[in-house]
Each structure stands twice: as C-alpha cells, then as structure tokens.
Amino acid sequence: MTVYAYDEARCVLVAAWDTGIGLTASTIAKLPHASDRDEVLRLAAALTTLSRVVWRTYTHPVSAAESVELDSEGWRRQGERDAFAGVLANIRQPNLLQNGYMVQSYIMVEEAAHRVGRTLHNIGNQTICDLVVDD
C-alpha cells in the first residue's frame, strides 16, 4: 500500500512503499514554496486514505464473501470495486460544498477520491492535480 508524505525541506509530495526490508520512495510533485502546508498535509492524508481503501478491495475480494445479494457484504465489496472506474473523474471533478451542503458517498473508494479532489481544489494548482492523477 502506498503512503504519501510531504517533504517540507524539498517542498515535494512523495509516495512511499514498504518493500519488506525497508521503505522506498518516489517524488510525485514539486510544490510551489508558497503552498499551504496544512493543505499539502491534508492531500498526503487523503491520498493515503484512497490508497488504503483501494488496497482493501484486494485484501477483501468479492469472491471471499458468502453472497453478492442486494445489501450483502459481497454486494458492498463489488460496489467498492466498481468505483475504481470513477476515481480519476472524482479527483478531477469532486463533489464540492453547494448551498451549505455536500454530497458524500457511502462507497469508500468513491468518497476517498472525492476527498483527494476537494483537497486539490483547495490547493488550486492544475499542474499538481495533473501530477497526482498521473500517479
């Protein structure tokens, strides 16, 4: 599972993976020095959450559930898996606050992608958004 962090010294967003004998990391995006530290930390947390809920679909496959009937565990797991198709669109066009309300999804993968998108919206830098989507 990928974990994301903000390297403040280099002003970059990084992704890290545990190899079993240590961590390896890769730079995802160079950020402007004027970036809001708290928003970048929120982005790292939102990306880590998205990674965690996506990874869960592999560790908890539909095939391991007893049933895929409506409202069953298998049905819910299939909904999480089906949400993969919309992740990039949800990041690019997240549900935002409108008239004091925000639509939130009960599908963890979908909502995690919207949270990444909302944080990128707050950061307001299209280049960073593109680099995150590419990642």
Q: pLDDT tens digits for 32-76?
A: 887 899 999 999 999 999 999 999 999 999 999 999 999 999 999
- pLDDT-derived band at 96 (thresholds 50, 70, 90) equals very high
Residue 35: the pLDDT is: 82
Domain boundaries, the chain: 36-134
Query: Given pLDDT bands bounded at 50, 70 and 90, which one contains residue 13?
Result: very high
Q: Is 135 exposed, middle or buried (0-12, 13-18, 19+ CB in 10 A)?
A: middle
For 104, the token pair is 């939130």
Query: Which residues does residue 6 pair with via DSSP β-bridges, in sequence order?
Result: 13
105-134 average pLDDT score: 96
Q: Which strands, in side-by-side order, build the sheet including 12-18?
A: 3-7, 12-18, 23-30
Model pLDDT, residue 33: 83
* Mean pLDDT for the stretch of residues 4-18: 95
Q: What are phi and psi of 4, to 5 degrees?
A: -110, 150
